[in-house]
């Protein structure tokens, strides 16, 4: 009896076989080849060793690129959290129609082409762009400020591009909080700031952690925005990999950088996942 019941409500695991086979062939195998190639000592092949990794880890320039990429992610994530949390909070306490408008505003960057979004920032931050035009119209500056091709420009543009990834999980987390808890807190005499700090913020931690994970991973791999807003002088990991692989045709070294970058991303993802488990335990306690 139990067996027949299970039969109608679940589907055969074999249904996953075609996609699983496709992933093993076209996703796992290429990554294994990438790993194998990263141990080749010279582009012509033949000898295997750790020389590509030694080259990367012993080179100040390469380590600098890795460091600045990881640090860029931290800055973007911090700014996105600072700006995105209030948006989720406002969405949560708005009437129905305003929620719809806020949601449209939040989803728009997520679904607009990344080239278009980035292109808009070039127009805004350029020498003849909106920021410079407004500042000189107000008489605050005589010569245009350099905003494009600076790290600050990259951070602001990435924060806008990735903000939906931060806002959406926080909205989910906020919607799960029992509103009675905030009421209880204020009845017991806590002010709004205190209630926010002691009740709302801790309970929304799972959403914050999920949002930070997605934002961070997207920010450090955002190839287009990094290269168009950052220009030629600023080099981050994705462009570094592309230059080595495409322009210089140095595949073993490109493979080694890719592996280093992949490992860095995976380490960050696991840290965030561990934090996420901790925060869920905390929010459910």
Partner 1 sequence: MSKPAISNTAGRRIDLDALSFRIVMTGIALLALVLLVAPTVVVIWVSFTSGYSLKFPPPGYSLRWYVELWNAWQLQFALMNSLKVAAWATGLSILLGVSASLGIARSPTLTARVLDSLFLSPLVLPALAFGLSSLMFFSMIGVPVSPLTLIIGHTVVSVPFVVRNTVASLAQMNPSLLEASASLGGGRWYGFRRVTLPLIRPGIMAGGFIAFMASFDNVPVSLFLRDAATDMLPIRMWQDLEGRLDVTVAALSGILIVATIALMLAMERVAGLSKRLT
Residues 146-185 that bind partner 1 (CB under 8 A): 156, 159-160, 163-164, 168-169, 171-172, 175
What residues contact residue 170 under an 8 Å CB cut-off, 6+ apart?
A: 84, 85, 88, 204, 207, 208, 211
The rounded distance, in Å, linking the Cα atoms of 157 and 132 is 16
The least CB distance from residue 218 to partner 1, in Å, is 9
**Footprint of partner 1 on 196-235 (CB under 8 A):** 196, 213, 217, 220-221, 223-224, 227-228
Shorter beta-carbon distance to partner 1: residue 113 or 285 = 113
The rounded distance, in Å, linking the Cα atoms of 160 and 124 is 13
The least CB distance from residue 180 to partner 1, in Å, is 18
Which one of 48-56, 59-67, 257-265, 274-282 is the stretch in contact with partner 1 (CB under 8 A)?
257-265
The least CB distance from residue 194 to partner 1, in Å, is 8
Identified binder of partner 1 from the candidate list 50, 54, 123, 141, rule CB under 8 A: 123
Establish if 43 lies at the interface with partner 1 (CB under 8 A): no
Shorter beta-carbon distance to partner 1: residue 11 or 61 = 11
Shorter beta-carbon distance to partner 1: residue 259 or 279 = 259
| Three-class DSSP category at 147 | coil
Site string for partner 1, 61-100 (x = CB under 8 A): ---------------------xxx-xx-xx----------
Eight-class DSSP state of 64 = H
Which one of 47-55, 58-66, 126-134, 274-282 is the stretch in contact with partner 1 (CB under 8 A)?
126-134
Shorter beta-carbon distance to partner 1: residue 81 or 279 = 81
The rounded distance, in Å, linking the Cα atoms of 85 and 91 is 10
Q: Which of 163, 154, 175, 174 is nearest to 212 (CA)?
A: 163
Establish if 249 lies at the interface with partner 1 (CB under 8 A): no
Identified binder of partner 1 from the candidate list 65, 70, 76, 121, rule CB under 8 A: 121
Q: Which of 103, 225, 121, 110 is nearest to 165 (CA)?
A: 110
Exposed, middle or buried: residue 68 (CB in 10 Å: 0-12, 13-18, 19+)? middle
Token match 């913020």: residue?
201
Identified binder of partner 1 from the candidate list 230, 241, 276, 279, rule CB under 8 A: 241
Measured N-to-C along each axis, helices 251-284 and 29-37 cross at an angle, to the nearest 10 degrees, of: 120
Expressed in percent and rounded to 5, the helix, strand and coil fractions of the chain are: 80, 0, 20
Bridge partners for 40 per DSSP: 48
What's the residue count for the chain? 285
Which one of 53-61, 138-146, 242-250, 274-282 is the stretch in contact with partner 1 (CB under 8 A)?
242-250
């Amino acid at each position: 009896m139990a067996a027949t019941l299970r039969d109608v409500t679940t589907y055969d695991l074999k249904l996953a076989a075609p996609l699983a086979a496709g992933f093993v062939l076209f996703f796992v195998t290429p990554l294994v080849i990438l790993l194998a190639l990263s141990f080749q000592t010279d582009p012509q092949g033949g000898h295997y060793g750790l020389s590509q990794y030694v080259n990367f880890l012993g080179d100040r320039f390469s380590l600098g690129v890795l460091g600045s990429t990881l640090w860029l992610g931290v800055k973007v994530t911090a700014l996105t959290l600072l700006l995105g949390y209030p948006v989720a909070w406002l969405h949560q306490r708005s009437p129905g129609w305003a929620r719809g408008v806020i949601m449209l505003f939040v989803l728009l960057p997520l679904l607009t082409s990344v080239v278009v979004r980035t292109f808009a920032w070039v127009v805004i931050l350029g020498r003849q762009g909106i920021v410079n035009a407004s500042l000189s119209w107000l008489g605050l500056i005589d010569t245009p400020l350099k905003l494009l091709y600076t790290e600050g420009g990259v951070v602001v543009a990435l924060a806008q591009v990735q903000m939906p990834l931060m806002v959406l999980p926080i909205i989910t987390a906020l919607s799960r909080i029992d509103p009675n808890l905030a009421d209880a807190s204020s009845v017991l005499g806590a002010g709004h700031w205190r209630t926010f700090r002691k009740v709302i913020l801790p309970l929304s931690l799972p959403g914050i952690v999920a949002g930070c994970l997605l934002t961070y991973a997207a920010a450090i791999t955002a190839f287009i925005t990094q290269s168009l807003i950052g220009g030629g002088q600023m080099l981050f990991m994705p462009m570094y990999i592309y230059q080595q692989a495409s322009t210089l045709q140095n595949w073993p070294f490109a493979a080694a950088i890719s592996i280093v970058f992949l490992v860095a991303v995976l380490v960050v993802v696991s840290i965030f996942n561990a934090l996420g488990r901790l925060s869920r335990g905390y929010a459910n306690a």
